[in-house]
Amino acid sequence: MVVPTPATAAQVDNGVRVITEPSVYVLGRQTVDSAELDRFLADHGVSWQSDSEVAGEVLTETAGRVCFDEETEILTDAGWKRFADLDRTERVMTLNPAGQRLEWQRPEAYQVYDYTGPLKCADGRDVSFAVTPEHRQFVTFDYADPRGGRYEFARTADIGTRRCCLVSAGGGWAGAVPDAVELPEVQFSQAVSNQFGSGYGTATTTRAAVQVTGRERVLALARLLTYYAAEGSVRDRPGSGRGVVIYGDHVAEVTRLCATLGLRYGLYTDRRNGVPRVLIHGGLQWLELFARSAGVGSPNKCLPRWVLELPAPELIRPSCSFSLCS
């Protein structure tokens, strides 16, 4: 900390003191262990020089200003959060390169800064993020055998157009099956008529929220949501009922899941392309569950967090491939 104060002054007749020369008191300094910094650089095979004398700037420049954008999320012990929303009290999920085990760690420092320049983004089945080009990725370029490949740190900018794999489900993940998944409360209106068909207006019905409980039924719902997110759509046509349609050659599995959940269904084949379809009945309440949990329309569909946080045996996806874009 530097505090400027007047050192010499001249007193004038009107009582105003005129400062003629400032002095500076150095109350404290940020320090950097140069030897440890050099050892860090040597261990990672890089070099860096800075013309700054401010310790914080030197450390940031040495790190290459590596950072995620503010929209990227990280798993914390308080749930998934954007980096920009961290309150700096959370533990975050990390991957230990030794054995590729997942560990909770509390960050020792946070860096936030304005950045103008290109970002590299990764969009794959299990990952989506954007980073500065200097950011390092823990990847393998052995695409043919990602499980047994040699993983290494590589600068994102150096990956270029090469295909690579990163670990998206490290060892040691426990996860949990929720005790219950709630179907939301819904309201719907119906026309009211007498025996002669004369209209008497409409009546509004409310169905209270209910829960899907039990491990087997919750896991069945998780798998059904996965089929819906990958190859499904909602059906909400006046006069033809409300439900969810699952496409493709999954009839046996989808109907088994429906039976576990006690859901009625119908089978038919799309005349346009011969693709089998399963129409899952359940009314507005089940339709709302699928729509709110997993989205509507291909660009908007995703799996809810509780599905992504199931135990490891339910998430057998140890690695994934991705391509970089600027």
The answer to whether residues 190 and 201 touch, using CB atoms and an 8 Å cutoff, is no
Instruction: Check pLDDT > 90 for residue 201.
Output: no
Same domain, 291 and 212: yes
For the segment 29-79, what is each residue's pLDDT rounded down to a tens digit?
667 777 887 787 777 666 666 666 676 666 666 665 678 888 888 888 887
Same domain, 30 and 128: no
* Structural domain harbouring 304: 180-310
Same domain, 55 and 28: yes
Same domain, 186 and 233: yes
The answer to whether residues 324 and 124 touch, using CB atoms and an 8 Å cutoff, is no
Same domain, 86 and 108: yes
What's the pLDDT score for residue 263? 93
Instruction: Check pLDDT > 60 for residue 325.
Output: no
Q: Give CA separation, 169 vs 2, 311, 326, in Å.
A: 48, 11, 25
Amino acid 169 reads A
Same domain, 301 and 189: yes
pLDDT mean over 233-257: 84
The three-class DSSP label of residue 206 is: strand
pLDDT mean over 160-180: 82
**Which among 62, 81, 105 is the end of a domain?**
62
pLDDT mean over 117-124: 82
Question: At 244, which helix (H) or strand (E)?
Answer: strand 241-247
Spatial CB neighbours of 236, under 8 Å, sequence gap ≥ 6? 242, 287
What's the pLDDT score for residue 1? 46
Interatomic CA distance for residues 322 and 146, integer angstroms: 12
pLDDT mean over 90-104: 87
Interatomic CA distance for residues 120 and 325, integer angstroms: 6
Interatomic CA distance for residues 58 and 325, integer angstroms: 29
Question: At 289, which helix (H) or strand (E)?
Answer: helix 283-294
Same domain, 220 and 275: yes
pLDDT mean over 231-258: 85
Same domain, 44 and 86: no
CATH number at residue 210: 3.10.28.10
Same domain, 86 and 151: yes
What's the pLDDT score for residue 143? 75
Same domain, 190 and 91: no
Total of domains in the chain: 3
The answer to whether residues 124 and 130 touch, using CB atoms and an 8 Å cutoff, is no
